[in-house]
Amino acid sequence: MSLQAIWIVQLPSAIARKDGRLLFSRIYPTCVKKEKIAAGIHYVPLPPNPDFVKSLFFELGYTKEGMSHFIAARDSCQKDMQNPVYEIATSAGKLWPLVVVEQYGIVYCCLPYVEQGVHTRPPLIDLPGVTQGFSLLCAIADFLRPVPHNELYQKIPEIYSFLTHAAPFGSPLDTNVESVIAKMTNRPSTVMTKSQKQPGWKPVIHKGKNHIYLSVTEYVRAVQYDWDDAANVWDVYGTISCKAELECVMPEITVTVSQAADGEITPLDHLLIHPCVQSADTSIIDPGAGQVRANPRRVRFSPPNEMVTLCHYTASRIQGIPITGSFEMFVEEKKVNLKVKLKLHEKIKNQFEYCELQIPFHNRGPIASHDSLPSSGSMMLSPDRKVLAWNIGQKFSSKTLEVNLTATVQFADPSKQPASPQDDPFCVGQNAYAQLYFKIPDYTHSGCYIDPKSVQVSPSMKYKLTAVREYISKEYKFWNIQGDALRSVIPKCLTTLNNGTIDLEEK
């Protein structure tokens, strides 16, 4: 599949007191001619660049009125939204399917060639050009992401070179940023024998010292209420990533995913693997065995040049929350009194890279002062004086594994500060929460780790191996005991699940 045109536009909001502007455009006449033949009398010609930018901004709501002025053709709930695919109106007709990606004040657009003809309006699932165009736009965005806005014009000539390698003649062939940049810079490759075939997804071979980096990153999400009628909820999941820099065309790496004794040693389930993974052992669980065994799992793969996530996993049999706690807040007119208690689970490694509790105060004035008494660590305020942060430190008390905080927070007059769009409309009165951020290096709750001695590389070669693991909180909240909380509740009419069907309770 191919693309008719590509546009890169800078949004008005990204330029102080100036209108948006077109940074780059490229039209592929061959693809345009193919589209004209396929569409016949229904063909809509590409508009001039100024008209295209104007129509694009109107469709996205970047006009002087913004989205405040209702326009039925654009804003009606009856309109079928298929983001990131848009339809924009021009003087000659409507352009469709226009793929739009917006990142950091820049809009990346492309118009794929529709073999069936745009007048037939085929489902997007039947248009591979949409998928390829979206991947190409994301690659261009990654290519330009490190560049400051005031230096974008200096990078424009390189976009032509980027597209020459990534999408010659408008046909996306390689949307991997690292491999395209390697082609652009003519990075040297090792000499291959005649029997070796270099894959298209790995056009450049690493030249230098051999190095394999393996990482296990495990995350925990938790919501705690400390109520009798609401159970705490949490889940643990993780990823295994690899970056292999090897002087070889198609190396094969085999690693063993094991369970260390410092975790709960629970089996991994719902293992989702990357396409580069050629095989992965399955986990067999015998319900009648009396206990669940966590057997090592071998993963064999042929890695690309860039960092790749080999697999995603979940660990649903984790028994305990790593850090339990309670958050209590009493509200008065212009101040609140806080009580926080946190306790580390006895099986969790008591060694943090960081551990910080943040208490945001929504829909209130800025914090005027606070009188805090933490059992360990230090207190600080965010720059906007809306968040009280407690830096707990790198360890809990070795005797009790507990930390406590009491604080009184005074607020300034809220009328002196405009409302922030970051304020949560639910968090009014005593509805509040505290959020915990922590990271434990060289540890995972499930015990998952890569055994360095199990790593095998074919063909055999010397290499440096780095294997790390870490345990990170993702969304870890404690709701105020004295207020309400956002939570999901299973309807009472859904009682039991029998034989694959849900029985409804009669009322």
Residue 500: the pLDDT is 44
Q: Which long-range contacts (CB under 8 A, 24 or more apart) does 169-173 make?
A: 169/2, 169/28, 169/30, 169/31, 170/2, 170/3, 170/4, 170/28, 170/30, 170/31, 170/113, 171/1, 171/2, 171/3, 172/1, 172/2, 172/3, 172/132, 172/133, 172/135, 172/136, 173/200
Q: Is the pLDDT of residue 507 over 50?
A: no
Contact between 170 and 2 under an 8 Å Cβ cutoff? The reply is yes
Kindly report, residue by residue over 144-179, the tens digit of the pLDDT.
987 887 778 788 889 998 998 899 989 998 888 888
Q: State whether 390 and 410 are in the same domain.
A: yes
Q: Is residue 36 part of a domain?
A: yes
Residue 147: the pLDDT is 80
Share of the chain above pLDDT 90, in %: 51
Q: Is residue 471 part of a domain?
A: yes
Q: Is the pLDDT of residue 259 over 90?
A: no
| Rounded Cα gap, residues 230 and 232, in angstroms | 7
| Rounded Cα gap, residues 110 and 100, in angstroms | 7
Contact between 463 and 211 under an 8 Å Cβ cutoff? The reply is yes
Kindly report, residue by residue over 9-30, the tens digit of the pLDDT.
998 754 444 567 899 999 999 9
Contact between 212 and 43 under an 8 Å Cβ cutoff? The reply is no
Question: HSE of 334 in the Cβ direction (CA atoms, 13 Å)?
Answer: 11
Q: Is residue 199 part of a domain?
A: no
Phi, psi (rounded to 5 degrees) for 369: -160, 165
Give the domain CATH number at 239.
2.60.40.1170
Indicate the pairing of strand 354-360 with strand 308-314. Answer: unpaired
Q: 3-class secondary structure for 420-482?
A: CCCCCCCCCCCCCEEEEEEEEECCCCCCEEECHHHCEEECCCCCEEEEEEEEEEEEEEEEECC
Q: State whether 152 and 123 are in the same domain.
A: yes
Residue 427's alpha-carbon distances to 107, 120, 341, 364, 378, in angstroms, are: 34, 49, 21, 10, 25
For the chain, the average pLDDT equals 85
Compute how many other C-beta atoms are within 10 angstroms of the C-beta atom of residue 482: 14
Q: Is the pLDDT of residue 506 over 60?
A: no
Q: State whether 282 and 410 are in the same domain.
A: no
Residue 490: the pLDDT is 62
Q: State whether 30 and 153 are in the same domain.
A: yes
Mean predicted confidence (pLDDT) in 99-123: 90
Contact between 328 and 482 under an 8 Å Cβ cutoff? The reply is yes
Which of the listed residues 427, 443, 459 is the one where a domain comes to its end?
443
Q: Is residue 498 part of a domain?
A: no
Place of tokens 């489902």: 123
Residue 196: the pLDDT is 60
Indicate the pairing of strand 464-479 with strand 211-224. Answer: parallel
Cis peptide before 84 (omega within 30 of 0): yes
Q: State whether 360 and 307 are in the same domain.
A: no
Q: State whether 290 and 309 are in the same domain.
A: yes
Give the domain CATH number at 94.
3.30.450.60
End-to-end Cα, the chain, rounded Å: 57
Q: How far is CA 229 from the centre of its chain?
A: 33
Q: State whether 310 and 347 are in the same domain.
A: no
Read off the pLDDT band of 498 (50, 70, 90): very low
Range of 256's domain?
A: 211-319+445-478
Mean predicted confidence (pLDDT) in 97-111: 93
Residue 419's alpha-carbon distances to 118, 130, 360, 434, in angstroms, are: 46, 40, 14, 21
| Rounded Cα gap, residues 75 and 502, in angstroms | 39
Name the nearest CA neighbour of 164 among 141, 187, 180, 177. Answer: 180
Q: Is residue 312 part of a domain?
A: yes
Question: HSE of 229 in the Cβ direction (CA atoms, 13 Å)?
Answer: 6
Q: State whether 35 and 163 are in the same domain.
A: yes
Q: State whether 164 and 122 are in the same domain.
A: yes
Kindly report, residue by residue over 318-340, the tens digit of the pLDDT.
878 999 999 999 998 889 999 99
Q: Is residue 32 part of a domain?
A: yes
Tell which wins on pLDDT, 417 or 404: 404
| Rounded Cα gap, residues 105 and 11, in angstroms | 5
Lowest mean pLDDT among 12-16, 31-35, 364-368: 12-16
Residue 285: the pLDDT is 47
Name the nearest CA neighbour of 470 among 448, 443, 452. Answer: 443
Q: Is the pLDDT of residue 488 over 60?
A: yes
Residue 376: the pLDDT is 93
Contact between 9 and 23 under an 8 Å Cβ cutoff? The reply is yes
Q: State whether 230 and 373 are in the same domain.
A: no
Q: Is the pLDDT of residue 389 over 80?
A: yes
Read off the pLDDT band of 495 (50, 70, 90): very low
Kindly report, residue by residue over 201-254, the tens digit of the pLDDT.
676 778 889 999 999 999 999 999 988 888 899 999 999 999 999 988 889 999
Q: How many domains does the chain have?
A: 3
Q: Which two tokens stand for residue 111?
A: 């118009």
Q: State whether 18 and 155 are in the same domain.
A: yes
Residue 19: the pLDDT is 67
Which of the listed residues 443, 458, 487 is the one where a domain comes to its end?
443
Q: Is the pLDDT of residue 190 over 90?
A: no
Place of tokens 């009669």: 506
Q: Is residue 491 part of a domain?
A: no
Q: Is residue 342 part of a domain?
A: yes
Q: State whether 34 and 73 are in the same domain.
A: yes
Residue 248: the pLDDT is 86
Which of the listed residues 395, 427, 443 is the one where a domain comes to its end?
443
Angle at 50 between CA 44 and CA 55, to 5 degrees: 60
